[in-house]
Amino acid sequence: MHFCSKNKRPEEKSMLDAQLDLSPVLKIIEEKRHEKGSLIAILQQAQEIYGYLPLSVLKCIARELGIKPAKVYGIATFYTQFRLQPTGKYQIMLCQGTACHVNGSERIESTICQELKIKRGETTPDGLFSLESAACLGCCSLAPVMMINGQAYGPLSAEKAVAIIRKIKAAESLSLVGGEAQ
């Protein structure tokens, strides 16, 4: 299920949070409890399971490890890898490395933002797309580059980027219609 918790009221969000199954994260903690300095690794694995780090998971980790929730939260917000919000079904990673920047990645970003009506770091209300930036995806000779769910596209132009996104949108609305017809 994809939802954008940002648009939910706080009590609704905590409801969703409360329904979370915490057993997988408890299992990870059990495995790592005795390793020194394993907090980051625990957070990484937890994010892999849930797709992001829900507040209840952070609290659970703090409780189990016997450290203050503030510390866990501090670490989760220090590192950019950690997300406290769920991402869209299609995660757009637009490269903002130097090579992509000098080849016009910022213009592509503003065009994508205009197309999806979101800003960097946000998710569309329908939960379909989220836009994030990356520093060098490692294929600078294809600059400017974006990756959608791990698949790289490049060299991009603003039109190309929009065309790719529109194609996904079209495919999604088709499958939705198809699903309802069944």
- Site for ligand FES (CB under 6 A): which residue of 29, 58, 137, 147? 137
136 in contact with ligand FES (CB under 6 A): yes
Smaller CB separation from another protein, 88 or 132: 132
Strand partners, 148: 92, 151
39 in contact with another protein (CB under 8 A): yes
Short-list 47, 49, 68, 50, CA closest to 59: 68
Q: Residue 36 touches which of another protein, ligand FES, none (CB < 5 to 8 A by kind)?
A: another protein
Minimum gap (Å) between residue 9 Cβ and another protein: 30
- Site for another protein (CB under 8 A): which residue of 20, 142, 148, 164? 142
CA distance from start to end of the chain: 19
Please state, in angstroms and as integers, the Cα–Cα distance from residue 98 to each residue in 32, 103, 141, 145, 160, following that order: 38, 9, 12, 12, 20
Minimum gap (Å) between residue 37 Cβ and ligand FES: 31
43 in contact with another protein (CB under 8 A): yes
* 44-49 contacts at long range (C-beta below 8 A, 24 or more positions apart): 44/81, 47/81, 47/82, 47/83, 49/24, 49/25
Stated as kind and residue range, the H or E segment containing 42 is: helix 39-50
Residues of this chain that bind another protein (CB under 8 A): 36-41, 43-44, 74-75, 78-82, 96-104, 106-108, 110-111, 114-115, 134-143, 145, 147, 152, 154, 157-159, 161-162
